[in-house]
Amino acid sequence: MENNKYVELLKEMGLSENEAVTYFSALSLGPSSILKIARNAGIKRTTVYSVMESLKQKALISIETKGFKKFFVAERPEKLEIVLENRKKQFIKGLPDLTALYDSKGSVGVIKTYEGLEAVKSVYESLIKDIKPGEDYLIISDAKRWMEADSKYFMDFTERRAKLPIKIRMLLQDSEEAQNLKKFSKNYNFTAKIIHSKTDLPTNMVVTPEKVVIHQLVAPIMAIVIENKSAIKMHQEMFEMIWQSINDSDTEFSRP
């Protein structure tokens, strides 16, 4: 039987090549004999017997008896959810070991580069996925440029980030967008100060306990992610020095 998109889909869901072809054949034919399914699937009959046992264990095949004959019947495709759940359980079970291996290899420090806006968005998603409750999320940014990159996405990101029980502080380059953000900071779960000197920030920087993200806001759009404890510590200290140097009274001033 020639592979098709449905067989490929079944394989992606966790079935082996023979399981996918056999199940699809049984599903297509309805109640059928082993011989008929084997011919339709293009697999040896002796092989189909063992595959059927495997599919029965997965609750994807049942047997109907009519007289003295046995017919193999494909269960409803909804039963494939069981296969997906089992794969998820296996993944969760093995995840701690894989994570431990990753951490052991990355203890010295890693620098990763992500090119293009979509790749940069994936970095932001990882930030709010990995951060733990109560941790610091520090930002130095030109909010105007940051929002202009994709206002719909970054507004949605801001709203989702606001729901997390984390400590968000921002140092924002002065702009109308920055002033508005500061004005409504309580709505978005952060504290902000305005960098009122004549600064020009072509990058957005985020510092968490696990990484430093430097997002280039001008072309070419890209992000550099630093996973090194010493570098993270240094950027945290730099942020604190700038934060402490700005008085709250200095962040509100008349604009020209």
pLDDT for 186 equals: 86
Q: What is the pLDDT of residue 54?
A: 87
pLDDT by 10-residue block (mean), the chain, 256 residues: 73 86 88 88 87 87 83 85 82 80 63 94 94 95 90 93 95 87 85 83 94 94 92 94 79 41
- What pLDDT, on a 0 to 100 scale, did the predictor assign at position 96? 82
218 in helix, strand or coil?
Answer: coil
Strand order in the sheet with 136-141: 110-115, 222-227, 212-216, 203-207, 136-141, 167-173, 190-195
How far the first Cα of the chain sits from its last, in Å, is 75
pLDDT at 224: 95
Residue with tokens 């495997």: 54
Q: Which residues pair with 207 in a beta bridge?
A: 138, 212
Q: Could you give all domains of the chain from N- to C-terminal order, each with its CATH number?
A: 5-81 (1.10.10.10), 107-251 (3.30.870.10)
* Amino acid 221: pLDDT: 94
Q: Other C-beta atoms within 10 Å of 145: how many?
A: 19
For residue 253, what pLDDT is reported? 39
Question: What does the block give as tokens for 127?
Answer: 């930030």
